[in-house]
Amino acid sequence: MNQTPYPFTRTHNRYIFVSKGNTTIFKAVDFTSMKSRSTFNLCFGDVDIDNQIDDFAISNNGDMKRVLATVIHIIADFLIRNPKAIVYFTGSTATRTNLYQRIVKTHYQQLSAQFEIFASIKSGNRLKKVKFNPHTGIAYSNFFITKKY
Amino acid sequence: MPAVKKNSRVHKEIVKKLKEMGLYERVMISKEPLFPKKNALAEERLRGMKFIDNS
Protein backbone atom coordinates (compact mmCIF):
# COMPACT_ATOMS: atom_id res chain seq x y z
CA MET A 1 0.00 0.00 0.00
CA ASN A 2 1.84 3.04 -1.24
CA GLN A 3 -0.95 5.52 -0.55
CA THR A 4 0.00 8.70 1.27
CA PRO A 5 -1.94 8.77 4.54
CA TYR A 6 -4.04 11.78 5.54
CA PRO A 7 -2.37 13.81 8.29
CA PHE A 8 -3.93 12.98 11.65
CA THR A 9 -4.04 14.54 15.08
CA ARG A 10 -4.21 12.78 18.45
CA THR A 11 -5.76 13.36 21.84
CA HIS A 12 -5.53 10.69 24.58
CA ASN A 13 -6.00 7.37 22.74
CA ARG A 14 -8.05 9.00 20.00
CA TYR A 15 -7.02 10.04 16.51
CA ILE A 16 -8.82 12.38 14.13
CA PHE A 17 -8.30 12.99 10.43
CA VAL A 18 -10.21 14.42 7.49
CA SER A 19 -11.13 12.24 4.52
CA LYS A 20 -11.20 14.39 1.40
CA GLY A 21 -12.87 12.21 -1.22
CA ASN A 22 -16.17 12.94 -2.94
CA THR A 23 -17.04 14.93 0.17
CA THR A 24 -15.16 16.02 3.29
CA ILE A 25 -15.71 13.64 6.19
CA PHE A 26 -14.17 13.80 9.66
CA LYS A 27 -12.99 10.38 10.77
CA ALA A 28 -12.12 9.19 14.24
CA VAL A 29 -10.15 6.18 15.44
CA ASP A 30 -10.69 5.44 19.11
CA PHE A 31 -8.59 2.89 21.01
CA THR A 32 -10.68 1.90 24.01
CA SER A 33 -9.29 -0.12 26.88
CA MET A 34 -11.12 -3.41 27.27
CA LYS A 35 -11.60 -5.53 30.38
CA SER A 36 -8.34 -7.22 29.61
CA ARG A 37 -6.37 -4.04 30.23
CA SER A 38 -3.60 -4.58 27.73
CA THR A 39 -6.18 -5.00 24.97
CA PHE A 40 -7.55 -1.97 23.17
CA ASN A 41 -10.59 -2.13 20.95
CA LEU A 42 -10.02 -0.27 17.69
CA CYS A 43 -13.18 1.66 16.84
CA PHE A 44 -13.39 3.59 13.62
CA GLY A 45 -16.16 5.81 12.36
CA ASP A 46 -17.43 9.09 10.98
CA VAL A 47 -17.83 12.35 12.86
CA ASP A 48 -20.43 13.72 10.51
CA ILE A 49 -21.79 17.11 9.67
CA ASP A 50 -25.15 16.50 11.35
CA ASN A 51 -23.40 16.52 14.70
CA GLN A 52 -23.62 12.77 14.99
CA ILE A 53 -20.87 10.26 15.55
CA ASP A 54 -21.76 7.31 13.39
CA ASP A 55 -19.98 4.10 14.22
CA PHE A 56 -21.64 1.99 11.56
CA ALA A 57 -21.43 4.37 8.61
CA ILE A 58 -20.25 3.20 5.22
CA SER A 59 -18.97 6.40 3.66
CA ASN A 60 -18.33 5.44 0.02
CA ASN A 61 -16.21 8.58 -0.17
CA GLY A 62 -14.02 7.27 -3.00
CA ASP A 63 -10.79 7.29 -0.98
CA MET A 64 -10.90 3.94 0.81
CA LYS A 65 -7.26 3.11 0.11
CA ARG A 66 -6.03 6.39 1.50
CA VAL A 67 -8.29 6.08 4.55
CA LEU A 68 -6.98 2.57 5.08
CA ALA A 69 -3.37 3.74 4.78
CA THR A 70 -4.14 6.40 7.39
CA VAL A 71 -5.63 3.87 9.81
CA ILE A 72 -2.53 1.67 9.43
CA HIS A 73 -0.27 4.65 10.25
CA ILE A 74 -2.49 5.43 13.24
CA ILE A 75 -2.17 1.85 14.54
CA ALA A 76 1.61 2.14 14.16
CA ASP A 77 1.66 5.46 16.06
CA PHE A 78 -0.53 4.00 18.82
CA LEU A 79 1.68 0.91 19.20
CA ILE A 80 4.84 3.04 19.35
CA ARG A 81 3.26 4.98 22.23
CA ASN A 82 1.84 1.81 23.82
CA PRO A 83 4.34 -0.91 22.93
CA LYS A 84 2.74 -3.57 25.14
CA ALA A 85 -0.76 -2.98 23.82
CA ILE A 86 -2.77 -5.49 21.86
CA VAL A 87 -5.04 -3.83 19.31
CA TYR A 88 -8.25 -5.75 18.81
CA PHE A 89 -10.79 -5.30 16.04
CA THR A 90 -13.73 -7.12 14.60
CA GLY A 91 -16.48 -6.28 12.16
CA SER A 92 -19.88 -5.08 13.28
CA THR A 93 -21.37 -7.72 10.97
CA ALA A 94 -20.08 -10.96 9.43
CA THR A 95 -19.83 -9.17 6.08
CA ARG A 96 -17.74 -6.38 7.61
CA THR A 97 -15.51 -8.95 9.39
CA ASN A 98 -14.97 -10.70 6.04
CA LEU A 99 -14.08 -7.35 4.49
CA TYR A 100 -11.48 -6.72 7.22
CA GLN A 101 -10.03 -10.18 6.64
CA ARG A 102 -9.74 -9.47 2.90
CA ILE A 103 -8.06 -6.13 3.63
CA VAL A 104 -5.53 -7.70 6.01
CA LYS A 105 -4.93 -10.49 3.47
CA THR A 106 -4.40 -8.02 0.60
CA HIS A 107 -1.93 -5.92 2.60
CA TYR A 108 -0.45 -8.75 4.63
CA GLN A 109 3.09 -8.33 3.33
CA GLN A 110 3.29 -4.68 4.34
CA LEU A 111 1.39 -5.15 7.60
CA SER A 112 3.39 -8.16 8.74
CA ALA A 113 6.62 -6.20 8.26
CA GLN A 114 5.48 -3.84 11.05
CA PHE A 115 3.05 -5.88 13.13
CA GLU A 116 2.40 -9.32 14.54
CA ILE A 117 -1.07 -10.23 13.36
CA PHE A 118 -3.23 -12.82 15.04
CA ALA A 119 -6.79 -13.90 14.47
CA SER A 120 -9.25 -16.15 16.17
CA ILE A 121 -11.51 -18.87 14.93
CA LYS A 122 -14.75 -19.39 16.79
CA SER A 123 -15.55 -22.90 17.89
CA GLY A 124 -18.52 -23.13 20.24
CA ASN A 125 -17.71 -20.97 23.24
CA ARG A 126 -14.02 -21.08 22.51
CA LEU A 127 -11.81 -18.88 20.44
CA LYS A 128 -8.75 -20.48 19.00
CA LYS A 129 -6.06 -17.83 18.64
CA VAL A 130 -3.86 -18.40 15.60
CA LYS A 131 -1.32 -16.49 13.55
CA PHE A 132 -3.08 -14.77 10.69
CA ASN A 133 -2.70 -16.87 7.59
CA PRO A 134 -3.29 -14.90 4.37
CA HIS A 135 -3.72 -18.11 2.40
CA THR A 136 -6.44 -19.70 4.52
CA GLY A 137 -9.99 -20.15 3.37
CA ILE A 138 -11.19 -20.10 6.99
CA ALA A 139 -13.28 -17.12 8.10
CA TYR A 140 -11.73 -15.46 11.14
CA SER A 141 -13.96 -13.82 13.73
CA ASN A 142 -11.55 -11.43 15.49
CA PHE A 143 -8.20 -9.83 14.79
CA PHE A 144 -5.33 -8.82 17.08
CA ILE A 145 -2.31 -6.70 16.26
CA THR A 146 0.81 -6.14 18.33
CA LYS A 147 4.06 -4.34 17.73
CA LYS A 148 6.72 -6.40 16.06
CA TYR A 149 10.12 -6.48 17.74
CA MET B 1 3.92 9.01 9.81
CA PRO B 2 3.35 10.24 13.38
CA ALA B 3 0.47 12.39 14.60
CA VAL B 4 0.78 16.08 13.74
CA LYS B 5 1.86 18.57 16.41
CA LYS B 6 -0.74 20.50 18.42
CA ASN B 7 0.46 23.79 16.92
CA SER B 8 0.23 22.51 13.33
CA ARG B 9 -2.14 23.89 10.70
CA VAL B 10 -3.89 20.50 10.39
CA HIS B 11 -4.56 20.25 14.13
CA LYS B 12 -5.85 23.83 14.30
CA GLU B 13 -8.16 23.26 11.30
CA ILE B 14 -9.59 20.09 12.83
CA VAL B 15 -10.16 21.85 16.16
CA LYS B 16 -11.83 24.81 14.43
CA LYS B 17 -14.18 22.57 12.43
CA LEU B 18 -15.06 20.40 15.43
CA LYS B 19 -15.94 23.54 17.38
CA GLU B 20 -18.18 24.69 14.52
CA MET B 21 -19.86 21.27 14.55
CA GLY B 22 -20.33 21.48 18.33
CA LEU B 23 -18.29 18.31 18.81
CA TYR B 24 -15.01 19.68 20.15
CA GLU B 25 -15.67 18.78 23.80
CA ARG B 26 -16.92 15.31 23.01
CA VAL B 27 -14.22 14.43 20.51
CA MET B 28 -11.11 16.21 21.78
CA ILE B 29 -11.64 16.68 25.53
CA SER B 30 -13.90 13.89 26.81
CA LYS B 31 -12.35 10.51 27.50
CA GLU B 32 -15.72 8.79 27.09
CA PRO B 33 -15.64 6.30 24.20
CA LEU B 34 -16.82 7.81 20.91
CA PHE B 35 -18.29 4.56 19.71
CA PRO B 36 -20.01 2.88 22.67
CA LYS B 37 -22.03 0.52 20.49
CA LYS B 38 -18.85 -0.88 18.98
CA ASN B 39 -17.24 -1.27 22.38
CA ALA B 40 -20.28 -3.12 23.70
CA LEU B 41 -20.18 -5.36 20.65
CA ALA B 42 -16.48 -6.11 21.13
CA GLU B 43 -16.91 -6.96 24.82
CA GLU B 44 -19.88 -9.15 23.94
CA ARG B 45 -17.92 -10.98 21.26
CA LEU B 46 -15.18 -11.89 23.71
CA ARG B 47 -17.30 -12.41 26.84
CA GLY B 48 -17.18 -15.94 28.21
CA MET B 49 -14.82 -17.02 25.47
CA LYS B 50 -12.00 -19.31 26.37
CA PHE B 51 -8.86 -18.67 24.43
CA ILE B 52 -6.82 -21.54 23.11
CA ASP B 53 -3.49 -20.09 22.05
CA ASN B 54 -2.36 -21.87 18.91
CA SER B 55 -0.19 -19.04 17.65
Q: What is the CB-side half-sphere exposure of residue B8 using CA atoms within 13 A?
A: 12
Can you tell me the distance from the alpha carbon of A17 to that of A139, in angstroms, rounded to the nearest whole number? 31
Considering only CB atoms, which chain B residues are within 8 Å of A82? none
**B12: nearest CA in chain A?**
A9
Can you tell me the distance from the alpha carbon of A93 to that of B52, in angstroms, rounded to the nearest whole number? 23
Model pLDDT, residue B48: 66
Nearest to A4 by CA among A93, A71, A69: A69
Q: What is the pLDDT of residues B23-53, one digit of tens each?
A: 999 999 999 988 888 888 888 877 766 666 6
Question: Is residue B2 scored above 60 in pLDDT?
Answer: yes
Nearest to A117 by CA among A127, A108, A125: A108
Considering only CB atoms, which chain B residues are within 8 Å of A17? 14
Model pLDDT, residue A82: 94
The ipTM estimated for the assembled molecules is 0.86
Residue A141 touches partner B, C-beta closer than 8 Å: yes
Residue A1 touches partner B, C-beta closer than 8 Å: no
pLDDT band, residue B55 (cuts 50/70/90): low
Query: How close B8 comes to chain A (CA, Å)?
Result: 9
Which amino acid, residue A97?
T
**A89: nearest CA in chain B?**
B42
Residue A81 touches partner B, C-beta closer than 8 Å: no
Nearest to B53 by CA among A98, A37, A144: A144
Residue ranges in chain A modelled with pLDDT below 70? 1, 49-52, 54-57
Model pLDDT, residue B51: 63
Residue A34 touches partner B, C-beta closer than 8 Å: yes
Q: Which of B18, B48, B55 sits opposite A125 (nearest CB)?
A: B48
